Chain A
């Protein structure tokens, strides 16, 4: 979706859904994902439609991703850091799943 005009000079490595990627040091995560050719970073919590960063300035909340286990981080306001583990968000989280599992485990 975005194309680099120059090679990355100071690379920083991170993973997105388990795939190793590189960004320029100090680069914002949303921009890095788009420049790495990621099509969408999440699925809408309503219809499940694919969504990608839209405004890159903290306004639209389309770039919400899970970063190092923390949900709903705005990727456009977050710099890529070495070893960052980034995951896409697939629709609405199933908040009751934990309780269902607990119930099932009860005799």
Chain B
């Protein structure tokens, strides 16, 4: 079998047993596993080719040509091949903007998935939906972060994987987390020059990280991580203990001013790459009505799921990093677990078969959880980069709402981020809060002297991605929807239309 490529909304079936959103490691694995059972599976993904961000262009890149991407990247090759041989319907360049209960539930609850492909919208039905929407980078609001020339470290890595391009020198990488060192190492191997890494991590010798060290000593990340650190430090300038950052420039980034315990310095930069870890991409799950919970160790909201990915919303399951950060290999196994769970819940896989399979997969996955706690604690961002102290720093990039304006509005007493949003418009631009939600919660928690868990985050609604009115108008409408708008019975409406003088 091979996947059936779907390039137009009309080419999708009206209904599937399983709709998977996202073709990264979790989505590809879920599709591969599910299609083995003979279930009708659709994979909807925003990008032109499968792989997600971590295995971006894995089906096109060949190890010989882009060796610098490293062994972990090429691990995605086998999964990409397995997915290509599955019998799923695969729609690339497809944007999913809503998930809602179907109007007329037939065999139990069904879901309606709103998707746009090639400019046309469509609603398809699914017995179960798996969200494998992955992660996004945690916003790092510092003065000047909206200037052209500033990108996320993830963006630089995506450009390297997909186009073999590197940032213009001098390059400054700033922030914390394993990806920053991995990117530095890949960029050097690819031929980038003149790079400085400003490490904003807090000191390693802290109780929160040390008490989690024993787990890390047996983790698959240990050797890889240490090797990466040492290799990077030998080859580029690394400044540790960076406790404040400011990107300088008028119309584009020209330099970075930073402070350590030893004082303040300024360096030139043409490109600044920011990163302070990744957080689950929760917009679609949240808009689908899945409750969220605060993960204190990873300092982020994530959807509430059981060990097999089920949310409290029946038939909506979540796999991989979008349910909590675990990395690509854990996400791949999670994709398989969640697919089996979803199909078994719908009676498409026998219970005893699914239980045995899930049990085995969960033991496999355990290996990748080892040491995660240490990494999370080690790379916990400094508070100054979570809640910018400088009043002029932009927090909401779309609406240009500054930290100062937010603090002013918070002092007026809105109960949470949703009310704050109506006060100042933060989170109301096209990104729909993806780049400010985390910061707004952190600032509000700090101002109120409470935990982000108590503050909560934006309530999100469909469409989670902008949809053109023409696309919505082009959808077939239920009779009661037509009546709600026209005030007339749809039959009358139709007659009237044909009676219009030509």
Contact = CB atoms under 8 A, between A and B. Distances in A.
- Among A6, A34, A44, the one with the most B-chain Cβ atoms within 10 Å of its Cβ is A34
A34 B154 CA distance: 15
Contacts of A85: none
- Identify whether the interface residues of B are mostly helix, strand, loop, or mixed: loop
Contacts of B148: 1, 39-40, 50-52
A5 B191 contact: yes
Given A1-B167, A57-B136, A77 B46 contact: yes
A95 interface: no
A64 B159 CA distance: 17
Interface residues of A, number: 37
Contacts of A55: 136-137, 151-152, 154-155
Contacts of A61: 398, 429-431
B51 to A, nearest CB: 12
B164 A72 contact: no
Contacts of A60: 397, 431, 434-435
Given A1-B148, A49-B146, A57-B53, A62 B397 contact: yes
A31 to B, nearest CB: 5
Interface in A24-79: 24, 26-28, 31-32, 34-35, 39-40, 44, 46-47, 49-62, 64, 72, 77, 79
18 contacts: A1-B151, A2-B165, A3-B165, A5-B164, A5-B191, A28-B163, A32-B163, A34-B159, A39-B252, A50-B147, A52-B148, A53-B155, A57-B158, A58-B46, A59-B137, A59-B431, A60-B434, A64-B430
Interface of A: 1-6, 24, 26-28, 31-32, 34-35, 39-40, 44, 46-47, 49-62, 64, 72, 77, 79
Interface of B: 46-48, 53, 60, 93, 95, 136-137, 146-152, 154-155, 158-159, 162-169, 190-191, 251-252, 270-271, 281, 397-400, 429-431, 434-435, 466
